[in-house]
Chains A and B, each alone.
Chain A
Amino acid sequence: MKKKYINLVNKSKWLRSEIFEMVVKVNQGHIASSLSQAEILISLYYSGILNIKKKNPKYKNRDRVIVSKGHSAMGAYPIFADLGYINKNELSKYGTPSGKLRIYGDKSIPGIETTSGSLAQAPGIATGFAYCSKLDKQNFYTYVILSDGEHYEGQLWETAMFAAHYKLDNLVFIVDRNKQIILGKNEKLLKLEPLRKKWESFGWNVFDINGHKYSELVPVLKKTRKLKNGKPSLIIANTIKGKGISYMEDVTRWHNTMPNDKQIQIARKDLLKNCIHE
């Protein structure tokens, strides 16, 4: 294991377990999609890239992070609790009438910047943030975690054009490229490739990395902050849906299926071992 990222690697194990336990307790949520994006969120919140303040989710000049694939916005809740944005006991109330935390992130939840869940709207909202950040010289960055599925929405390409035209180089999209949607693999159902060329042709900086390796995620995220070349950036983070749970990895049926008791025990054993190494 590369010692450089050992803290982040340990966070991976912690976050996966937290997400899994939250979901199976109330049988609500999207485990597989939350697991594929885990390293993306951890890289953002724990590598020192973001200008954020603990316990203050409304800090004015904070960098904004939006999980646009709203079905996995819940994957950020353990991080919000850890940063002191919400009370830790909220995690055990997830999905219950007395709890604040819900499957889909909405802006009533501290740490959630905008309601998401209807695909490809949050990237457009993010352009509003980025435009104001530039105009008012607030100099914050806006990060948006996208799904494969959002690429089928026409609105995303409207946003791609807009952000490039207005030179929003303070805007970074990260695609959780787990290559699946609910009914199967993208490339089989309706192909998205060549994704990199598509974004490049829209005038974006594009990076293509392994989304489960901090040794690739962290340097590229740092690079996007240094570029300042008048172009927005997009990182294709290649991931595995259900990463960390043996029977879920890259298996289509787990988008929103709940594991049975036996499967829960297997998953807990799987999650005791860390699937992330660098």
Chain B
Amino acid sequence: MSKNYLDFKRSSKFPFMRDVVIDKIYDKAKKNKDIFFSTPDMGAPALDEFRKNLPKQFVHCGISEQQMISFAGGLALMKKKIFCYAMAPFINSRCYEQIKCSISAMDLNVNLIAVGVGIGYADAGPTHYSTEDICIMKVFPNITIYTPSDDISSNIITEKIIKKDHFNYLRLDRDALPTIYKKTNFNFEKGYNFLNKKKNKICIITCGYLTHKALRICKDLHHKVDVIDLFRIKPFPKSLVSQLKNYKEIISIEEQLAAGGFGASIQEELSNNNVKNKVKKFCLDDKYYFENGGRDYLHNKYGLSSEKIIRYIKNK
């Protein structure tokens, strides 16, 4: 097998985003007994302390995701702040109708934290993939969807959502990813950040794990492509539309199936605003995969090969 395109591996060098997020929630929950955390049996090193020290605020709901979501709706109706945490497919599609009726239809302030979005659990297969979650979650009218790409962005997003009552969906990668941001250059309010802005003709727009891939591609292209980290896909940042008008072509990269995903959101938003710039979507081939070999292997085989993306940009 060839060497992975992204040269970082799971290591203790970088913190896992889930630990960053849970540490932050724990920190606030210690001072606020109205903050609750529930999971259908998903752990994290940072969660051990929460469970031990705040047992009344940690509610294990069994491996019963539907019950967890409705219970969370009940807590929200009692004016509590609740975070539900699980492996991605089990906190979105597994309990989809509960999210609709027990949260969204009542416009309740519940926070859903999904771990391993996309094909983060690469060798597990489609049961553990979440390759359609942007499509299915963005249709909830009152949801806000965040995909942080490192520890700094995870920390700031969590801090903000604790302060603000809302229905939030936080998409975390399974892997520990290198730090991209500094505390001072992550602009939360805007919903996106430029990671390379050099007035190139083409820009790559992505989020989460793939932000790292985009940065590597950018480096390989000697920074001849701009890079945007769109960490809030919904509500779609209004100011981004005018920024995207400046590009001859926009390239979206996502670990999602094509229909209704990340790139489709961008196409839709541009179209709604009469922006006719071309959007080229790089997403996963439209099928489910049952194959060993890891995340990079699957990328290369099923639509997200960096070589292919680089070649595409070079030929422009």
Contact = CB atoms under 8 A, between A and B. Distances in A.
B66 to A, nearest CB: 4
Interface in A35-49: none
B31 to A, nearest CB: 17
A121 interface: yes
Interface residues of B, number: 25
Given A129-B78, A131-B74, A132-B75, A161 B62 contact: yes
B250 interface: no
A124 B75 contact: no
Contacts of A121: 66, 70, 73, 97-98, 101-102
A115 B66 CA distance: 16
A145 to B, nearest CB: 16
Main secondary structure of the interface of B (DSSP, over half): helix
Contacts of A129: 74, 77-78
B181 interface: no
B68 to A, nearest CB: 8
A178 to B, nearest CB: 24
Interface stretch (A5-13, A151-159, A222-230): A151-159
Contact of B78 (A118, A122, A132, A159): A132
A227 B80 CA distance: 28
A107 interface: yes
A171 B61 CA distance: 17
A275 B80 CA distance: 44
A115 B101 contact: yes
A221 interface: no
B59 interface: yes
A155 B71 CA distance: 11
Contact of A158 (B64, B73, B77, B106): B64
Given A121-B102, A124-B71, A155-B70, A114 B77 contact: yes
Contact of B67 (A132, A135, A162): A162
A126 interface: yes
Given A121-B101, A162-B67, 17 more contacts: A106-B106, A107-B77, A114-B73, A118-B100, A124-B66, A124-B69, A128-B72, A128-B74, A128-B76, A129-B78, A155-B67, A155-B70, A155-B98, A159-B70, A162-B62, A162-B71, A165-B62
Interface of B: 56, 59, 61-62, 64, 66-67, 69-78, 80, 97-98, 100-102, 105-106
14 contacts: A107-B77, A115-B105, A121-B97, A121-B101, A124-B66, A128-B77, A129-B74, A131-B59, A132-B80, A135-B56, A155-B98, A158-B62, A158-B64, A161-B64
- Give the 4 A-B residue pairs with the shortest CB-CB distance, closest first: A128-B74, A124-B70, A158-B64, A158-B67
